Amino acid sequence: MKKAVVLVSGGLDSATTLALARQQGYACYAVSFDYGQRHVSELNAANQVVEKIGVEDHKTIRIDLDGIGGSALTDTRIAVPDKPSKGIPITYVPARNTIFLSLALGWSEVLGARDLFIGVNAVDYSGYPDCRPEFISAFEKMANLATKAGVESANSNDGYFRLHTPLIDLTKAQIIQEGIRLGVDYSLTVSCYAADDKGAACGVCDSCRLRRAGFESAGIVDPTVYQ
């Protein structure tokens, strides 16, 4: 069985991505990040998601991003907006997916896994630059130059490490329909940027809005518990 490292945040998209990787026959190694995010209930959700879907191993890596600051998600002095904002919102965490993918890459190399799955989406999303296909493609190229595994397979044209982004072109409604088909229990997932300790969602942040609209558009009952 081929191994894959899958980034699991506890949200809707990454749960769907994990289910898709499993369906494609990968032995899945889930990785989550404790980066000082406001919404720690996300990490509880990640634990529940990986337990329900099933993985070979699950690692939660602590990173000191709250020491760096600069985002409403890691600095409690910056409020999470309750209205859509123009441009890239203040919930953007500087270099977040770059940092997450770098750590996932290191673990992949140790495991001998060449496939990494990340549930980024560039349709119904908050406009974060590190969710776009051009970023993913540049990261993949860099990863194959950065690593022993990448360099030692340099004769093969397609590189060693492959980043899989199965959701990148889907709408939120399509993601939900795909997940339902695969049996994902979305009641376990937490998407809200300002969820309470039990994972109840605010209903008004960008992430809540996208999620709620996705269930509506998909014609599926929203299992989210709101505050």
| Chain positions contacting its own copies, by CB under 8 A | 59, 61-65, 67-70, 88, 92-99, 102-103, 105-107, 109-110, 129-130, 132, 134-135, 138-139, 141-143, 145-148, 150-152
Smallest gap from Cβ 57 to its own copies, in A, equals 11
Which C-beta is closer to its own copies: that of 29 or that of 215?
A: 29
Smallest gap from Cβ 128 to its own copies, in A, equals 8
Which C-beta is closer to its own copies: that of 25 or that of 112?
A: 112
Q: Three-state DSSP class for 107?
A: helix
Which C-beta is closer to its own copies: that of 9 or that of 91?
A: 91
Smallest gap from Cβ 203 to its own copies, in A, equals 26
Which C-beta is closer to its own copies: that of 78 or that of 220?
A: 78
* Whole-angstrom distance, CA of residue 53 vs CA of residue 93: 28
Q: Count Cα neighbours of 154 within 13 Å in the Cβ-side half-sphere.
A: 9
Kindly provide the b/e burial profile for residues 155-188, where b requires at least 16 CB atoms within 10 angstroms of the residue's own CB.
eeeebbbebbbbbbebbbbbbbbbbeeeebebeb
